[in-house]
Amino acid sequence: MTFKIVGERHLAAGKFLNLRLIDYLDDNGNPRTWEAAGRVNSQGAVLLIPRFEPDGGVLLIRQFRAPTGGYVIEFPAGLIDPGETPESTAVRELYEETGYRGRIDRIGTPSYSSPGLSGEQIIPVWMTIDRRQYPEPPESHPESTESIEVFPLYPDEIAPFLDAAIARGDGIDTKVLLLYRNGDHGI
C-alpha cells in the first residue's frame, strides 16, 4: 500500500493563508492526519535569483518577516496573482521590491520550500540586471505592508554582508545560504 489522501477539512482562513487538516492512510493503511497551511487566492510563488552583469554580483533584500519576529536576508520573491504567469510575476516583483528591471534567463522547475508545512510551489526565476544601466540604485516600490531594504552586492561583498547580517541578528533565508555559504570556509 502507498500513502493515500482520503479527505480534507477546512480549519481556518485569513486574508493570505488557510489552515486545513488532511486525512490520509499511511503505508500500512492506518488513518493519519496532518495540519497544512496554504495560500489564499494564489497560484504559488516565484523566487527571483537576480544577478548583475557584467560583474556577477547579486541582488539581495532585507525584509521584516512577522512570523520570524525579525528581519530576514532573502532573494526577492512574490506570489503569483490570479491571471499572472511566473514570468510576469517575476518582472513585476523585481521592480516593486527593488526598482530594478532585468531580463529573464531561465525559469526553473516548481519545487517546495517547506513541504511539511505547505504544498505551495515555488518557481525559481534566474534574472540578469545590467548594472551599467543603474549608476545609482533605483527607488523600490514596495506594497504598503512591506518593509524592504535592497542590497546590490558585488561578488566580494556577499560573504562579509551575510556575516554582518548574522552578527546583527538577522535571519538568513535557507535558499541564500545554499547558494552562498561554503560549510568549511565561511560564506
- The per-residue pLDDT for range 50-97, each reduced to its tens digit, is 999 999 999 999 999 999 999 999 999 999 999 999 999 999 999 999
- The per-residue pLDDT for range 4-39, each reduced to its tens digit, is 999 999 999 999 899 999 999 999 999 999 999 999
Give the position of cell 492512510: 25
Domain 45-180, CATH 3.30.70.1140 — does that match?
A: no
In 30-185, the DSSP E strands lie at: 31-39, 45-53, 58-65, 70-74, 77-79, 103-107, 111-112, 121-130, 148-153, 171-172
* Residue-level pLDDT at 1: 63
What is the rounded distance in angstroms from the CA atom of residue 130 to the CA atom of residue 46? 21
Domain boundaries, the chain: 4-39, 45-180
| 3-state class (DSSP) for residue 155 | helix
